[in-house]
Amino acid sequence: MNLLESVRLALEGIAANKLRSFLTTLGIVIGIAAVIAVVAVGQAGRALLMSEMEKVGTNIFAVMADWRKGDSVTGREFSLEDASIIKIRVPEVSHLSPVSSTMENVRGTGKNRSAQVYGTSSDFAHIRKLDMKRGRYFSPEDELGRRRVAVVDQELAEDLFGRADPLGQSVVVKNTPFVVVGIVAKGDSIFGIGENPRIFIPIQAWQYLFSPYISYIEGSAAGKDQVEAALSQTIKVLERRHQAPGRYQGVSMEQQMQAANRITGIMTLIISAIAGISLLVGGIGVMNIMLVSVTERTREIGIRMALGARRRDILVQFLIEAVVLCLLGGVIGMSLGIGGAFLIAWLAKWPPLVSWWTVLVAFAFSAAIGVIFGILPANKAARLDPIEALRRE
């Protein structure tokens, strides 16, 4: 019997027992669909995360005080002069800004809204590449003149002023009025998802209203290949200025991207492995149903052997039946997995990203399951004694 004849017989056997065949392959279908969908969603999520982080800039870094040293916060870990001195002493640094923030109630034209109030310098707009929809970010002249100016994001502008033009209007932060000079796009942060409305004011004004404490210093290097040098030199300058060796630690956007990439990759792998357990369950189901099929077709096997079929022919026939059964489940699972991945991407508003190598690996894996779990029933069928097989009813 040739291969095509074996495949034809396998398909006829599957068609004769449609419900049993479907239930047998259900584990394969679910496993293949789950693995493809999970990997596709994981890759799409990773690509989206990397894209959002790259929009901010891969040459960004931040330096903060290392509280793990056990020292208490003194408020003298950073000073306003640090940024200007570092920019002079470290040529790799392009822009640098002290940053502090707190949640505070902000009042507009008779309306109130809780918002994240950021105190920064004018360099912050260049570091984060803020998308100014209207107006401008505050300038070094605004800082030197201690002007009460503010930049709000679109969400906060709509909440406080509705359809009115926010530019030139006043917002009140902690009973202090600030003139709105610019509107920035919503979500222009590192992650930009689900964050609070934001308002930016000069760091000097922030310190006057809230605290002299500066949370951290954020900067950008002149180029992506200069980030590590800019970060290490900035830390050295801070340690010398504040006489605090080992007191500061830094992190770069590149490091954050690598860490995020590793985490999403590990999570995708773990979830895929969990989904792959159903493939094992499906393979056991295929093996069980093939053992039942061997028992039901014992007399048929005996007749075929009596007519000249070799043990190898019987082995190949049942092995092909198991493989065909798993491949059919794999095809259905791939269709459901690809469809599910596109559906999830559409609902989450992510770019669909289905890796075809994942589909091919899943298809090959379903065939391998057919071989692995079909070999025992096929071997049992091939080892039947023809005379004993013919005697069974």
pLDDT one-digit tens code per residue, 72-97:
556 678 888 898 899 999 999 999 99
Dihedral sign, CA of 131, 136, 140, 146? negative
For residue 151, is it within any domain?
Answer: yes
Candidate from 22-31, 57-66, 215-224, 276-285 with smallest mean pLDDT: 276-285
Q: At residue 190, does pLDDT exceed 50?
A: no
Global pTM value = 0.65
In a domain, 251, yes or no: no
pLDDT of residue 387: 62
| 196 compared with 100, residue with greater pLDDT | 100
The pLDDT of residue 218: 92
Cα(186)–Cα(174) distance, rounded to whole angstroms? 23
Give me the number of domains the chain comprises: 2
- With respect to residue 241, please indicate whether it lies within any of the assigned structural domains: no
Mean pLDDT over each residue of the chain, to the nearest integer:
81
Specify the range with the lowest mean pLDDT, choosing from 59-73, 133-147, 203-217.
59-73
Looking at mean pLDDT, say which of 263-277, 285-299, 332-346 comes out highest.
332-346
Domain match, 113 and 200 both: yes
Residue 34: inside a domain: yes
Label residue 325 by pLDDT band (50, 70, 90).
confident
pLDDT grade, residue 55 (50/70/90)? low
What residues make up the domain containing 197? 94-220
- Segment among 75-89, 176-190, 289-303, 326-340 with least mean pLDDT: 289-303
Q: Are 36 and 155 in the same domain?
A: no
Query: Are residue 132 and residue 210 in the same domain, yes or no?
Result: yes
Give the range among 84-93, 210-219, 320-329, 349-358 with minimum mean pLDDT. 349-358
- Same domain? For 318 and 377 the reply is yes
Buried b (16+ CB within 10 A) or exposed e, 319-340: bbbbbbbbbbbbbbbbebbbeb
Say how far apart CA 211 and CA 198 lie, in whole Å: 18
Are residues 282 and 168 part of one domain?
no
Asked whether residue 263 falls in the same domain as residue 345, the answer is yes
What pLDDT is attached to residue 374?
77
Q: Which of 191, 220, 249 is the last residue before a domain boundary? A: 220
198 shares its domain with 104 = yes
Are residue 288 and residue 184 in the same domain, yes or no?
A: no
**194 confidence band (pLDDT: 50, 70, 90):** very low
What pLDDT score was predicted for residue 179?
A: 95
- 297 and 354: one domain? yes
What are the tens digits of pLDDT across the range 350-371?
776 777 777 777 778 777 877 7
pLDDT at 53 over 70: no
In a domain, 133, yes or no: yes
369, part of any domain = yes
Higher-pLDDT residue of 39, 79: 79
- Of 190, 220, 250, the residue that ends a domain is 220
Which tops the pLDDT comparison, 68 or 329?
329
pLDDT given at position 153? 92
Write out pLDDT tens, residues 106-153. 998 878 899 999 999 999 999 988 889 999 999 999 988 889 999 999
**Average of pLDDT values for 309-315?**
74
115 and 47 in one domain? no
Q: Output the CA angle 333-335-339, nearest 5 degrees.
A: 115
Percent of the chain with pLDDT over 90: 25
pLDDT digits (tens, 9 = 90+) for 123-136: 999 998 888 999 99
Which of residues 220, 247, 270 is at a domain's end? 220
pLDDT exceeds cutoff 60 at 182: yes
119, 103, 106, 252: which is closest to 190 by C-alpha?
A: 252
Residue 242 has pLDDT above 70, yes or no: yes
State the average pLDDT over residues 229-253.
88
Please tell me whether residues 169 and 274 are part of one structural domain: no
Q: How confident is the model over 22-26, as a mean pLDDT?
A: 78
> What pLDDT does 283 receive?
78
Residue 54's pLDDT band, with cuts at 50, 70 and 90, is: low
Q: Are residues 286 and 216 in the same domain?
A: no
pLDDT, position 188? 46
Q: What is the pLDDT of residue 209?
A: 93
Tell whether 355 is covered by a domain: yes
**Residue 244 included in any domain:** no
Q: Which residue has the higher pLDDT, 264 or 163?
A: 163
